[in-house]
Chain A
Amino acid sequence: MARIRLDYRLLPTVNRVFAYALLALLIIFVAFPFFWVITASLKPNRYIITQKIYLFPPELTFSHYMTIFRYGNFGRFFFNSTVISLATVALSFVVVVPAAYAISILRLRGGMFFSRVILSLQMLPGILLIVPLYLILKNLRLLDTYYGLIISYTTFTLPFCFLLTQAYLLTLPLELFESAFMDGASTRQALMKIAIPLSAPGLMTASVYSFLRAWNDFMFANTFTTSANARTLTVEVSRLLGVWGTEWGALTAGATVTTLPVLVLFILAQRYIVEGLTAGAVKG
C-alpha cells in the first residue's frame, strides 16, 4: 500500500514530462511538413535543391511568389476558388434552411422519411456520380463554368448541411414557435426571425464546413474544367506539379497561397470546424 502512495506522488511529474514529450512529437508530426514547405517557398532555389538541410532560409526571397502571381496567373485562380466556394455555401443555405425548417419545426408529413433519404444520400461517394454528372454537365453546356462546379458541389454539401441544420432546429423548443404563430406571425417570419437566429452556431458550422469542402475539392474541379475560366486553385497547384515538375520554389509558393485562406479560416473559426466534425459523427 505504501509503495503505491509513493508512486502516485511521483507519477504526476513523470506523466507531465511524458505528456509534454508526446505533445511535442505530435506537433512536429502534424505541423513540420507545413513549416518545411512554407520556408521552402521563401528560399532561393539553391537552398532547396541541395544536399544540406536548411531549417530556416539563410536568405529570404519573394521571387517565387512574384513568379506565380505575375506569370502563373494565380490571382485568377484564387478568385475562382473564392467565388465558387462562397457561392456553394450560399446556394446550400438557400436550399437547405427552409427545407430543414419545414421538416423540423412545421413537422411536415413524410419529413422523417425525407430525412432518412438524405442520410443515406450522404453515403453516395462522388466517384460514383462523377461519370453521369460529367455527361449531364456536358449536355447542358455547363462544363468549364462556375455554375457546373457549384451545382456539383451540392452533392456533398447538401446532405451534411441539411442534417446539421435539422439537428439544431430540433433542439429548439416548439413552444417558441407556437406562441409566435398564435401572435399572428407567418411561417416565413418565424423562419427568419426565430429559427435562423437561434440556430446560428449550427449554420456557421455548416457554412465553414461547406466552404472547406468546396475550396479543397480536386476531383470534380479537375474533371469538369478545362481552361482557366473556372479552374480552381487546387487544380492549378496539381497541374503545376506536372508543368514545373521540379521547380519546388514556385510550387511551394503556390501551395502556401492555396493554404492561406484555410489557415485564416481556421484561426477565426476553429470552434465551428471542430463542432462540425463532432456533429457529423456524434449526431449522425
Chain B
Amino acid sequence: MRRRIMGRYGYLILLIIIILAVDLYPFFDALRLSFFDKNLMNPGGDRFTGVSNFVRLLTKEPLFRPALWNTIVFTIGSVVFEYLIGLGAALLLTSRYTPMKNLFKALVLLPWAVPIAINSLIWKFMLAPNYGFVNQILDRLGAHDFLQMNWLGNLSLVMPVVIGVNVWRSFPFYAITLMAGLATIPRELYESAQVDGASWSARFWHITMPGIKNVSMVVVVLHLIWTFTNFDVIYLLTGGGPLHATEVLPTFLYQQAFELFDMGYASAIGLFILIFLVVTVGPLYFRANAKT
C-alpha cells in the first residue's frame, strides 16, 4: 500500500495547483494590495502606504458607515425573512395535505435557480412605474397614488424593496434544506405527542424546531456570509440605489476598483469585509460545522 500511496499524491497535484493559483494566491495578493497605493490610472509602480488605506476607509470615507449599515440591514433583513418564509414553505410542502410534493419542490426552486441578472430584469419590469404589474394591481385595488410610484427610486422604500426581491430569490434554498432537515425528524415523536394531546404549537416548538436546529444553523450562517458579500443583487437592481440608499460594501468595493481604479483601496475594503465576517459570523460557522 505504501508505494501506492506515495505515487498517488499526484492525484492531488491538479487540485493543489489550481487552489494555489486561484484561491490562495489571490487571497494573499488582496491582503498585500490593501497596504499599497495602486491606482490603474497612474501607471508606474505601486507605492507602499502601510495602513493608510484602512485609515482612510474607517475615518475619512463618508460612504463607509452608510455602506456598512446598509450591508448589515440588507443581510439581517434578508436572512430573517428568507428563514421565515422558507420555513413556512418547508412545513407546507411536507405537510400530509400537500399532493405532488416533488412537483412543488421543483417549482419552488425556480427563483433560486435562475440567474440573478434575470431576476433583477423581471422585478425591474414588474416594479416599473405606470405599466409595471405591481403598480397596475395597486391601481386597480384603488390605491391610485401608487400608479406612478417608482419603487426603486424612492429613498425610503428602496431598501425594503431590494430586501424583498432578495428574499424572493433566496428563500427556496432555505425551503429545500429545511425540508431535508424536517425529514430527519422521526415520525414517532410526532405520533406520541399527538397521543399525549399536545397542541400543534407545542409540537412545533418542542419537536420540530429542535429537530431542525442544526440544519437551520448551517443554512442561516451560510446565508449570512453569502448575503453580506453579495454583489450581484444590489448592483443589478439599483447600482447602489438612489443616492447610495442601497450602497453596500461589495458594491462600494466594486465601484472603487472598477470605476475609479483604486485597487489598493478596494482591497482594503475587501479585507475589512473579511475581518468583519470572521469576527461576527466566523465562530458561528465553525460551531455549525463542528456539529455535522
B6 (CB) vs chain A CBs: closest residue: A108
- Interface 1/0 per residue, B246-288 and A, CB below 8 Å: 0000100110011000010011001101100100000001001
Choose from B125, B218, B270 the contact partner of A251 (Cβ within 8 Å): B125
Q: Which of A65-73, A196-204, A254-262 contacts B (4 or more CB under 8 A)?
A: A254-262
Using A95-B18, A130-B257, A132-B30 as known contacts, say yes or no to A282 and B118 having CB atoms under 8 A apart: no
- Interface 1/0 per residue, A212-242 and B, CB below 8 Å: 1001111100010000000001110110010
Q: Which of B27, B115, B140, B288 has the most CB of A within 10 A?
A: B115
Residue A31 lies at the interface, judged by CB distance under 8 Å to chain B: yes
Within 8 A of B (CB), among A101-123: 101-103, 106, 108-109, 114, 118-119, 121, 123
Choose from A36, A114, A121, A262 the contact partner of B23 (Cβ within 8 Å): A121
Chain B's nearest CB lies how many Å from the CB of A59? 17
Residue B42 lies at the interface, judged by CB distance under 8 Å to chain A: no
- Kindly list chain A residues whose C-beta atoms are within 8 Å of the C-beta of B107: 27, 30-31
Q: Which of B52-60, B73-81, B151-159, B171-179 contacts A (4 or more CB under 8 A)?
A: B171-179
In contact, B11 and A49 (Cβ under 8 angstroms):
no
In contact, A155 and B254 (Cβ under 8 angstroms):
no
Interface size class of B (residues with CB under 8 A): 35 or more
Residue B192 lies at the interface, judged by CB distance under 8 Å to chain A: no
Choose from B222, B236, B267 the contact partner of A218 (Cβ within 8 Å): B236
Using A106-B5, A132-B26, A132-B27 as known contacts, say yes or no to A258 and B118 having CB atoms under 8 A apart: yes
In contact, A278 and B180 (Cβ under 8 angstroms):
yes
- Kindly list chain A residues whose C-beta atoms are within 8 Å of the C-beta of B285: 123
Using A99-B11, A132-B33 as known contacts, say yes or no to A33 and B123 having CB atoms under 8 A apart: yes
- Kindly list chain B residues whose C-beta atoms are within 8 Å of the C-beta of A51: 130-131, 136
Choose from B92, B110, B222 the contact partner of A281 (Cβ within 8 Å): B222
Q: Which of A53, A124, A241, A277 has the most CB of B within 10 A?
A: A277
Residue A266 lies at the interface, judged by CB distance under 8 Å to chain B: yes
Choose from A53, A96, A125, A187 the contact partner of B140 (Cβ within 8 Å): A53
- Kindly list chain A residues whose C-beta atoms are within 8 Å of the C-beta of B30: 128-129, 131-132
Using A136-B25, A218-B115 as known contacts, say yes or no to A131 and B270 having CB atoms under 8 A apart: yes
Residue B202 lies at the interface, judged by CB distance under 8 Å to chain A: no
Q: How many A-B residue pairs have CB under 8 A?
A: 261
CA distance A162 to B5 in the complex (A): 19
- Given A30-B108, A151-B18, 15 other A-B contacts at CB below 8 A? A33-B168, A106-B11, A108-B9, A125-B274, A127-B229, A129-B30, A132-B25, A132-B27, A135-B33, A223-B258, A237-B115, A251-B121, A277-B177, A278-B177, A284-B289
Query: Which 7 residue pairs of A and B lie closest in terms of their CB atoms, listed nearest first?
Result: A125-B229, A132-B26, A98-B11, A19-B97, A216-B115, A278-B180, A132-B29
A-B contact pairs, 12 of them (CB 8 A): A29-B168, A30-B110, A102-B11, A125-B225, A128-B270, A151-B22, A155-B22, A255-B118, A267-B106, A270-B102, A270-B105, A277-B173
Interface residues of B (CB under 8 A from A): 1, 4-5, 7-9, 11-12, 14-16, 18-19, 21-23, 25-27, 29-30, 33, 89, 92, 95, 97-98, 102, 104-111, 113-118, 120-126, 130-131, 133, 136-137, 140, 168, 172-173, 176-177, 180-181, 197, 215, 218-219, 222, 225-226, 228-229, 231-232, 235-236, 250, 253-254, 257-258, 263, 266-267, 270-271, 273-274, 277, 285, 288-289, 292
Interface residues of A (CB under 8 A from B): 4, 12, 15-16, 18-20, 22-23, 26-27, 29-31, 33-34, 36-37, 40, 48-51, 53, 94-96, 98-99, 101-103, 106, 108-109, 114, 118-119, 121, 123-136, 151-152, 154-155, 158, 162, 181, 187, 212, 215-219, 223, 233-235, 237-238, 241, 248, 251-252, 255, 258-259, 262, 266-267, 270, 273-274, 277-278, 280-284
